Amino acid sequence: MGIGTRDLADLPAIWREALDAARAARAEPRLGPIAQWDAIGGYRMLTALPAAAPDPAIGPLLAPAHAELARTAEVFLDCAGQASRTAQALGIHRQTLYYRLGRVEKLTGLDLDDGEHRLLLHMALKAARL
C-alpha cells in the first residue's frame, strides 16, 4: 500500500512501517534488500515491540561461541520442527541435528517439545537479529 492510497495524515505511520520493513530486511536476508511492510510476516509484530534485552533463557545461546547452535535452532523452528528438512537446509546429518538441538536445550533450559518454549525461542532469536 503506497502513499497514494492512504491519507497524508498517515505519513508518520507509513514512515514507521518503512523503517520497520528495512530493519526486517536487514535482519532476514531472504526478504531481500528491500522489503515491503505487508511482506515481512512476523517481523511486523517484532518490530513494533520496544527494544529490550534478550530473554535470559536464550542469553547463553547468543554468545558468539554458540552462533552455530543459534542458527541450528532458528532453522529448525523455521522448518516447523521437521528434522529432515532442517538437516537438509543446514547440510548436516540428522544425528548431528539432534545433538545440536540437545545442546540448545541444555544451554537454554528450554524444552523444544513444548510449544510455548519453541515460541519463546523462535521470537527471541528473530528479535535478537533486529
Please report whether residue 107 resides in a domain: yes
- pLDDT tens profile 39-91: 877 877 777 777 777 888 899 999 999 999 999 999 999 999 999 999 999 99
Beta-carbon contacts of 50 under 8 Å, excluding residues fewer than 6 positions away, are none
- Note whether 73 and 67 are within 8 A (CB): no
Confidence class of residue 125 from pLDDT cuts 50, 70 and 90?
very high
Distance CA 46, CA 15 (A): 17
Distance CA 42, CA 119 (A): 12
Please report whether residue 23 resides in a domain: yes
Q: Specify the number of domains making up the chain.
A: 2
**CATH number assigned to the domain comprising residue 101:** 1.10.10.2840
Whether residues 124 and 66 share a domain: the answer is yes
The model's pTM is 0.75
- Note whether 30 and 10 are within 8 A (CB): no
User: In this model, does residue 8 exceed pLDDT 70?
Assistant: no
Kindly report the backbone phi and psi dihedral angles of residue 36, in degrees, each rounded to the nearest multiple of 5, phi listed first.
-95, 150
Please report whether residue 100 resides in a domain: yes
Q: Please give the radius of gyration of the chain, using alpha carbons only, rounded to the nearest integer.
A: 17
Kindly report the backbone phi and psi dihedral angles of residue 119, in degrees, each rounded to the nearest multiple of 5, phi listed first.
-60, -45
Burial class (CB in 10 A: 0-12, 13-18, 19+), 39: middle
Grid coordinates standing for 43? 517481523
Beta-carbon contacts of 130 under 8 Å, excluding residues fewer than 6 positions away, are 23, 24, 27, 43, 46, 47
